[in-house]
Structure 1
């Protein structure tokens, strides 16, 4: 099987300052479109105030994650960057969480745990446009 590289740019919008946006189906669709049978899928956000995680899509847990993020890095703590943009907490949290996650691809499908969905983590919304770059690499048809 030849080595393939496939890239797709997805666009999402957010409606809240901090929000978890489930992008699992769109990522799985990109993997299916790629034609890669065995390889890896990287999900990357090219934004300094957004991140990517994998976790359970359960509303209580999603609320808990957002609350924990606010408690971990309070927005009103007197951060230096807030003098410029008033979003230091979003930058700090994005640095801690990270802009990407990498998943295996096997049998032409994204490999994830039973309770793992892929989320875009909005940390400085609402935003009209957030890009997510999905890169799928490996052996394919």
Structure 2
């Protein structure tokens, strides 16, 4: 199963927990969320606006835009590729009685590092 996520900013963090929950089978034991893109990632963390902003700031500090990357000669988005490598392309969450076994403050967050775009998210 899959769904799409649209972003309106170059770097955007979107809570996709509800979309994933709707696609979990009641007899599942685990759920894997995979982002099939090289400039986007997915993480599990708190969905709080200041923390989402902090994530964007941290990614920019760790991997600055326009820092003389060789890949920029081709696509001008090397920073997005490098940021997504730090985030990872998938997360696996246990399922208990048909529900994602996330902690109290945990959410599944899609992170676009090269938007605005429409991206696919695969749930298994």
Q: Which TM class, normalised by the smaller chain length?
A: over 0.9
Report whether the alignment pairs 1:62 with 2:52.
Answer: yes
Report whether the alignment pairs 1:26 with 2:24.
Answer: no
State the structure with more CA Rg.
Answer: 1
C-alpha separation in 1, matches of 2:61 and 2:91: 24
Residue 12 of structure 1 is matched in structure 2 by: 5
2:77 to 74, 81, 87: 87
Residue 71 of structure 1 is matched in structure 2 by: 61
Residue 106 of structure 2 is matched in structure 1 by: 116
Q: Paired residues, what number?
A: 124
Give the RMSD, CA atoms, in angstroms: 0.8
C-alpha separation in 2, matches of 1:18 and 1:134: 22
C-alpha separation in 1, matches of 2:63 and 2:110: 18
> CA deviation digits over 1:3-42, x for unaligned, max 9?
xxxxx111111100000011000111111xx232x51000
C-alpha separation in 1, matches of 2:120 and 2:4: 5
Residue 39 of structure 2 is matched in structure 1 by: 49
Report whether the alignment pairs 1:106 with 2:99.
Answer: no
C-alpha separation in 2, matches of 1:72 and 1:133: 27
C-alpha separation in 2, matches of 1:107 and 1:83: 50
C-alpha separation in 2, matches of 1:35 and 1:65: 33
Unaligned runs of 5+ in 1: 1-7, 136-141
C-alpha separation in 1, matches of 2:100 and 2:47: 17
> CA deviation digits over 1:20-77, x for unaligned, max 9?
011000111111xx232x5100000000000001111111111001000000000111
**TM-score w.r.t. structure 1 length?**
0.85
